[in-house]
Amino acid sequence: MAQETHNRKSQTVKFRDHIVDIQPVNINGIECLRLRDVQLMFDTVRTFRIDNVQQAFLHDEHGNDLEPLRIVACVDKVVEAVESIKHSSNDTDDQLVKMNVKLDQIFINTQEILRQIDHVMTQMYELHEFTTPRYFFILPAEHSNIKAIDTVQNWLHIHYKLYFLCECSQDPKEMHVAPHEGYSIKRPRDFILRYGPYLKTTLAIAQALLSIGGFAIPQLGNVSKAINDVLPPQLNNSQFYTDAEQKLQMVDDLLNKVDNQQYRAGASVVDRHQSRGTALQGAELREIQTYLERVDDKRSLGNLYRIVTADGHVRWVCHKHYNAISYNNEMSKYIKEFKAMGGKFDETTNEALINQVNITKENVEMMCTALEKGFNIEKLICRECSIGEDDLKKLLDIIINRSSIRCLNMGSVRVRNVFGIT
């Protein structure tokens, strides 16, 4: 029978880095340390060691462990509490898993920071470099009899005009000619010798546009009359299509002849190959203006406007696409802000979900601004959220009167009063 002892001595027990004192229990006249007493503090302990020797639990004459499991107390020594190797290994594995999760999150955060830095650096570089539209091609200003032009020198003295392209897409086949009548080129010989290799690439884009019917700017059919009035007259002339291909081919032949002439003049095959399709740098692009007879006021070449896309790249686009890209960039910003507050947005169905979010005044201001500016949400679901009373009134007013939301589903929403009480 167990008897409580009034002996002030206690048993010192060590588990990992923890050391505690536990009161022994007198059972049948023997001071004992019970396993269950130790497990009350360290539940994974399975056995004991003294002086690095595992201690056997007290047992009967047949070797059966006595209940409760216990060893003879040794108050003058430290008893080491030991857990099973399996559990220790599992515990270590759990710690490693948690550590790996933290490392993965650190890696993700680091990559995001690096991406943002790269985005800003790209934007800063391109804003400095690309102060002039980079996609352009040339055409003879008037119809010329190609067969009557017998030498490259004669070709170089024809009157040429330069046309810019709207960079509305990364797919060259979706680009179009800028809404402008074109610029007469001064010193065409110097210009072609200077930019000939680059023109080979941009001319291929123009030829592709002609083949798919995009040369006459069909994308701008719904723009204002003010924009249509500045379209190149020849692009609106049906006769243009009959000789456009011939003019493009003429320029292509000219560039090939100049290329071959430079080869005969001593340029290496490697130099000629490397020069083809080489992207122009900022200084080379800015120099283009010195070859043009008339540059627009405010330096808006080709009636194009510079814009920075969501991924940090600079593009030069027409008025119509300037508005479209600006709108898309603005909507992308609102989607990011909506997700940052804890919401989810499906861009395929335009459904938005806010679940278990404490909606702040700042969140409501952001949502109201986004909805008023055209953030297209078809269905808004709000579940188990809390929101201020005045904020809810404001949000509902915007949703009902000034948004595209057709379905509002709210459930278990707690409304806070001015004192924060729901």
Domain boundary assignment for the chain? 2-83, 136-321, 341-416
Cβ contact 24:10 at 8 Å: yes
Residue 102 φ then ψ, to 5°: -65, -40
CA distance 220 to 209: 14
For residue 297, give both structure tokens. 């006021």
CA distance 369 to 371: 6
For the stretch 100-151, pLDDT in tens is 777 777 777 666 655 655 554 554 555 556 677 888 888 888 765 555 555 6
Tell me what the mean pLDDT of segment 275-286 comes to: 64
Which residues, 6 or more positions from 366, have their beta carbon under 8 angstroms from its beta carbon? 334, 337, 338, 341
CA distance 3 to 5: 6
Strands 136-140 and 160-166: antiparallel
pLDDT-derived band at 363 (thresholds 50, 70, 90) equals very high
pLDDT of residue 217: 40
CA distance 360 to 363: 5
pTM: 0.50
DSSP for 218-265, please give it. Answer: GGGTTS-HHHHTTS-GGGG-TTHHHHHHHHHHHHHHHHHHHHHHHHHT
pLDDT-derived band at 406 (thresholds 50, 70, 90) equals confident
Name the residue with higher pLDDT: 385 or 262: 385
For the stretch 15-68, pLDDT in tens is 988 999 999 999 999 999 999 999 999 989 999 999 999 999 999 999 999 999
Tell me what the mean pLDDT of segment 305-332 comes to: 78
